Amino acid sequence: MSSSINGYGNSASKVTTILPVNPTRIGNIVLDSADENLLDNWDIEWDDSTTDTSNLRLAAKQLQESNIPVAFPTETVYGLGADATRSTAVKGIYTAKQRPSDNPLIVHVASLKQLRRLLAPGASDSSRTKSIPDIYKPLIEKFWPGPLTIILPNPQDSVLAPEVTAGLDTFGARMPRSILALALIKLAGVPVAAPSANASTKPSPTAAEHVRHDLDGRIDTIIDGGPCDVGVESTVVDGLSHPPAILRPGGISIEQLRECPGWEDVVLGYKDAAAEAGAKPRAPGMKYRHYSPRAKVVLFESATKPPDLDTVLYHLNSPKSFGIIRTKVWPTGFGLKSTRPMETKNSLPLDAVNGTKVTPTKFINGIIRSEGPQRGNSITISNLLKAMDQHRIPISEQLLVSMGPGDNEDVDVWEINLGEDLEEIGRGLFSALRELDQKHVDVIFVEGISDDLGSVAAAIMNRLRKAAEVIIKAP
């Protein structure tokens, strides 16, 4: 097959296959209600009559046997997974992403039993019960499965490939809330190392087509489970330090963490700017410029008024088109005068994908079977069985803008309004950056939000500051 070039100028020798998997067609979730610890004892009664289950089994076999990573959805972003115990497989992640080798990976597990085996590989099941540090137990009880990664000690007799930890004596682990991710890991029977499934430094993928845009020809398989629910990566916390610290903001807020025993004094252990040269990142996303589209990103920090026209023109350098990502309505339109009326809206239309309304997929209806009276922790049950609504993918609207009095040359402007809801902004952020990049705009202006709105806002601004080439502070 002749080679082709993907969206970022990388040679591709083959076409990557996208395998659709509908989570409602893979079988039934089976809970052993006689056991209090549902994170150890849950299972799937597989429906092997469906193509969906066949596709998932194929991807699991590739995880077990191949050195080429598999892309799959989680509730946060799409991950690029490999068997965390095989060096040759983990190296395939770094090769496909062109990722720096000193950037550690997160290990994804399907149960606490699987995690304990990593922490105490030579011990019996009965003696592994205390292998997870007590500081994390309140977090696991409340937030797992979910968008939270915990930093754990890597034992001397570790079965993890050294490339996973990037030379650190710790590793990050999480149990994803996506039923497809959990089912894939359970089928493969191995812990799965998985960063985001994008080319290194590019915006994280929240849909299968984003993965193919970046990695077509570099990997064999993408499991397509629809758009991701959270849209930003997991929160990474370090409970081994004192006081405990947040190493990366994400889907779990500092306010939520502080409600847990032992985490009342949790501190921020990250900076929005890249770490100084030579420093080892303690968690993914701490050191390198990330989340960046091809276009130049200009971030306007949260302000009471939009920047004036002169400020905008200074960063344009006479482009033919540029993009705007709004996170709340600014009727003045970044100081630009439109030659036709601008519609100001607080949300995108529901017809987000090729004019077709996206139907939310509920995992809790029709596929869950419980043995005996319901027991166990209700929060854990809620997390394990939580419905994951497919969010709408942001779409851009084209505006025609005159650059000022006396200037008759019109400029194409592509605008995306993410609205005012923080969760919607988080879900749509990476998709919006990619959408405008595919319009081949030269500059993307992004309206920032206030960090004071909470940790979700802080996570959004953390990603935007890493993506931006220019940051304009609020007046």
Count, in order, helices (H) and strands (E) of the chain: 12, 23
Give the closest residue to 106 by CA, choosing from 285, 284, 289: 284
- pLDDT tens, per residue, the chain with 475 residues: 333 333 333 444 478 999 999 888 888 877 665 555 678 878 888 999 999 999 999 999 999 999 999 999 998 899 999 999 999 999 999 999 987 777 899 999 999 999 999 999 988 877 888 899 999 999 999 999 999 999 999 999 999 999 999 889 999 999 998 889 999 999 999 999 999 999 887 888 888 988 998 999 999 999 998 888 777 889 999 999 999 999 988 888 888 999 999 999 999 887 654 444 445 555 555 444 556 677 888 888 765 565 555 566 666 666 567 787 877 644 444 544 444 333 333 222 222 222 323 232 223 323 333 333 333 444 444 454 443 333 455 666 776 555 555 444 556 778 888 877 777 777 778 778 878 887 888 888 888 887 777 667 778 888 888 888 888 876 5
Region for residue 419 given its phi and psi (left: phi exceeds 0; alpha: psi -120 to 50; beta: otherwise): left
- With contact defined as beta carbons under 8 Å apart, do 325 and 433 qualify? yes
Judged on CB neighbours under 10 Å (0-12, 13-18, 19+), 328 is: middle
Closest Cα partner for 425 from 354, 347, 322? Answer: 347
Q: Cis bond leading into 373, ω under 30°? A: no
CB–CB of 222/245 below 8 Å?
no
Q: Contacts for 255-259 with beta carbons within 8 Å, 24 or more apart?
A: 255/454, 255/455, 256/142, 256/143, 256/455, 257/139
User: Scanning the structure block, which residue is given the tokens 């077990």?
Assistant: 64
- Measured between alpha carbons, how far is 470 from 401 in angstroms, rounded to an integer? 22
Structure tokens at 379: 């929060």
Domain boundaries, the chain: 4-232, 296-348+392-472
Contact 348, 392 (CB under 8 A): yes
* 0.75 exceeded by pTM: no
d(CA 46, CA 214): 32
Name the strand (E) or helix (H) holding 433.
helix 422-437
User: Which CATH code fits 296-348+392-472?
Assistant: 3.40.50.11030
Segment holding 142, helix H or strand E: helix 137-143
**Residue 224: strand, helix, or coil:** strand
Angstrom distances, CA of residue 266 to CA of 2, 258, 263: 54, 7, 5
Concatenated DSSP letters for 373-427? Answer: S--S-HHHHHHHT--BPPPPPP--EEEEEE-STT---EEEEEEEE--S-HHHHHH
Q: What is the 3-state secondary structure (H, E, C) of 322-345?
A: EEEEECCCCCCCCCCEECCCCCCC
Distance CA 74, CA 196 (A): 10
Q: Which CATH architecture has domain 4-232?
A: Alpha-Beta Complex (3.90)
Which SS3 state, helix, strand or coil, does residue 65 take? helix
Pair of tokens at residue 315: 């960063």
Helices 179-188 and 51-65 pack at an angle, to 10 degrees, of 50
